[in-house]
Structure 1
């Protein structure tokens, strides 16, 4: 009986540890999205964006019904050569809808409102050497 009690306590401790790690991961991803992703897009700051995107990231989706597929380099070049939402004076809002973490991978669902667009972004994350990176971005323009 004491053996089963010890196993039960051990399992409960492992579950508590996983939940705490999951919460820490969600907080780290939230902070990265706010500090690097949203601010980088808003300010047009590619050095900030490079801190959250893995260099091999691909971006896929659709904008106004048209297919969208880019390498990270092409995406960052576009950000660098456009007027940033900050400089345009137009409204910008980035918000996190959800974050799901499983061990060293995660999916974040975000919404970004800028210019005449409202995007839903599905961002795949991978934790590499203790840091969370976006390794894939899928997006769709939902503005009508």
Structure 2
């Protein structure tokens, strides 16, 4: 099952509304100045989810900075790849969509501060139970993942 386009955007709006409510209760009058930034980062994560599920390397390339690294550990083994090495691996495998897997991807946390952001994702696919952490940076008015760290939790 393919993720619905824009399914994360509603979550970002709800988080902004909740933050405004909490700030109001604390007597702080604060708008969601970064709502546009948050929506842009949420769209980036959505593109990652969609491209990962479909195995779309060209779309994944639009998510990552060309100098990005992917690092972590999988089943106790260190994992470190350049973005080109990572994308070559994606290209050589059957995608979750091709395997008939349902989309099990969730944005767990998002923090956007000026030109940087951090996201925590939970991705279940291809027999793995990944937790991914993205370091994201706005460069020339475009948000890109500069580091993806990951682990498989059994």
Post-superposition offset of 1:33: 1.0
Q: If each structure's helix is expressed as a fraction of its own residues, which one has the higher value? A: 1
2:35 to 23, 26, 33: 23
Partner secondary structure for residue 39 of structure 2:
helix
Mapped to 1, the partners of 2:77 and 2:37 lie a distance apart of 34
Map Cα deviations across residues 73-101 of structure 1 (whole Å, 9 max, x no partner). 00000000100110011233111001111
**How many positions carry a matched residue from both structures?**
127
Q: What is the alpha-carbon root mean square deviation over aligned residues? A: 1.5
- Which sits farther off after the overlay, 118-127 or 92-101? 92-101
User: In the aligned structure 1, how far is the partner of 2:94 from the partner of 2:35?
Assistant: 36
CA shift, 1:57, in A, is 0.2
Per the TM alignment, residue 141 of structure 1 is displaced from its structure 2 partner at its CA by 0.5
Which stretches in structure 1 are left out of the alignment for 5+ residues? Answer: 1-11
SS in 2 for 1:28: helix
1:116 equivalent among 127, 148, 152: 127
Tell which structure's C-alpha radius of gyration is larger.
Answer: 1
TM-score scaled by length of structure 1: 0.83
Report SS of the residue matched to 2:94: coil
Instruction: Structure 2: give runs of 5+ residues left out of the alignment.
Output: 1-27
CA distance in 2, matches of 1:136, 1:28: 18
Moved over 6 A (4+): none
**Is 2:59 the partner of 1:45?**
no
